[in-house]
Amino acid sequence: MKIRTVIEADLDQIVELNQANLPAVGPTDRAQMARFVEQTHSFLVAATPDDRVGGFLVGLPPGTDYGSVNYTWFSARYRSFIYVDRIVVGSAGQGQGTGRRLYDSFADAGRETGAEVMLAEVNVKPRNDQSLRFHERYGFTSVGEQDTDGGDKRVTMLEYRL
């Protein structure tokens, strides 16, 4: 899959892929994805050979007006960072290095801006073992945990030094 920047024509496929991967990622709609296009540091797509969306990563810089409790947690503790709001890789791209390539591209873009760390969170309740294993193999370390969604979810807060 080819890693490229999102285009408007991708948004419906992105929403469909996102919603197919609940609760590993939060729900979304086309309007929120369109806002991300304007707000993000990087909005990357893993495109299949026929230019369909096989995966995506939404990444934010510090200082973004974004109401996520996880983004707020990181913003209170870090000054120079890039934040992975969400990453989804469709079944065809799983186990093929697609997630790693999306993260590598995002990390490279963060280094170019002088960011010191890449930040992300992963569900530990409900447990997302696949994502936890991926982030551990990539080199992320846990720097805390917090409950979200009124205690229905719990996430581990992760950092990767750039």
Contacts of 103 (CB under 8 A, 6+ apart): 57, 84, 87, 118, 138
Contacts of 64 (CB under 8 A, 6+ apart): 39, 71
Beta strands of 31-136 (E only): which ranges? 42-47, 53-60, 81-89, 117-125
pLDDT, averaged across the chain: 95
Inform me whether the pLDDT recorded for 15 exceeds 90.
yes
Inform me whether the pLDDT recorded for 3 exceeds 90.
yes
Q: Does the domain formed by 2-117 have CATH 3.40.630.30?
A: yes
Domain regions of the chain by residue span: 2-117
pLDDT in tens, 34-54: 999 988 879 999 999 999 999
Indicate the DSSP class of residue 46.
Answer: E
In the block, tokens 């209170």 appear at 76
pTM value? 0.94
